[in-house]
Homo-oligomer: A and B are copies of this chain.
Amino acid sequence: MIRVAIIGFGKIAADQHLPAIASDSRFELVGVATPAGDPDIGVPWYGDAAEMLAAMDGAADAIAICTPPAARYALARDALQAGFDVLLEKPPTTTLGELDALEALARAQGRVLYTAWHSQYAPGVAPAAAALAGAEIDTLHISWREDVRKWHPGQEWIWDAGGFGVFDTGINALSILSQIVAVPLLVRAATLSVPENRQAPIAATIEFVGANWQAEFDWRFDAGEEWLIQITTCDGRRVELRDGGARLLVNGVDQPLEEDREYPQIYDRFATLIDARACAVDREPLRIAADAFMVARRESVAAFR
């Protein structure tokens, strides 16, 4: 039995981590730390993460960190140093340096570090990778649009410097893309549309190396959600992931897929890694985002309130 405690109990922990842990007989939830108050989920609550890490000495094996990204590095470092295995929600850290440092620490301490990019477990992703295996890609278009007011209500941290802005959402597309495209994803150019009263972008475009490879992220979309990746291959295949990877069309034909089990699969993988004492640190989505920020042309757009 893997005794796991959660740090950060917001929407993603409540909606996803809690049921995934409950449904996996290899895991037992043994504690939760969040400054937002006792969520009353039947396990000991701590207002302070350091207090929980101390209390969990000998009482937990692993920590899942579900706070906003800015807090994760210090929490993960402390958890690894205290001897726990660590699962990081996406994006795992605010910088590549933090992720490199955590990986080095985990390996030095013999602990498991796992970057859980949930969209990589969407049911269409592995079949899409299989459909594209061996093919040369001709065109690639990502359209990742949603209403920030619907999906990030009241989240102020996403607008801060280092808060990722629309990349907090778009990085899910990048995490899928790096799984289904075999060649390196090189950022040639990017634009960031930043509200005049904020530091992080509300919309962005990325041009990749490749004749017609682009991504568009936009948080100003209120006609439902569009989470779409369209790829054509040089030998004429059309591969289309819709609904964030929940639907896959090949040459226009819907493919039969397993049911959506993103978080159960994340915990399945975590258990496998813990069993093997192996780290799984995927830095590519964060690397692509960092490259986009570094080369981006910025434009100021209407204030967001």
Contact = CB atoms under 8 A, between A and B. Distances in A.
A293 interface: yes
A54 interface: no
Interface residues of A, number: 30
Contact of A95 (B101, B161, B162, B186): B186
Interface stretch (A42-50, A112-120, A294-302): A294-302
Contacts of A194: 298
A28 interface: no
A278 interface: no
A187 B290 contact: no
A97 interface: yes
Copies in the complex: 2
Contacts of A189: 161-162
A95 B298 CA distance: 17
A289 B294 contact: yes
Interface string A3-26: 000000000000000000000000
17 contacts: A73-B186, A95-B186, A96-B96, A97-B185, A97-B186, A97-B187, A97-B287, A98-B186, A161-B189, A161-B190, A161-B295, A161-B296, A162-B189, A162-B295, A199-B297, A290-B290, A298-B298
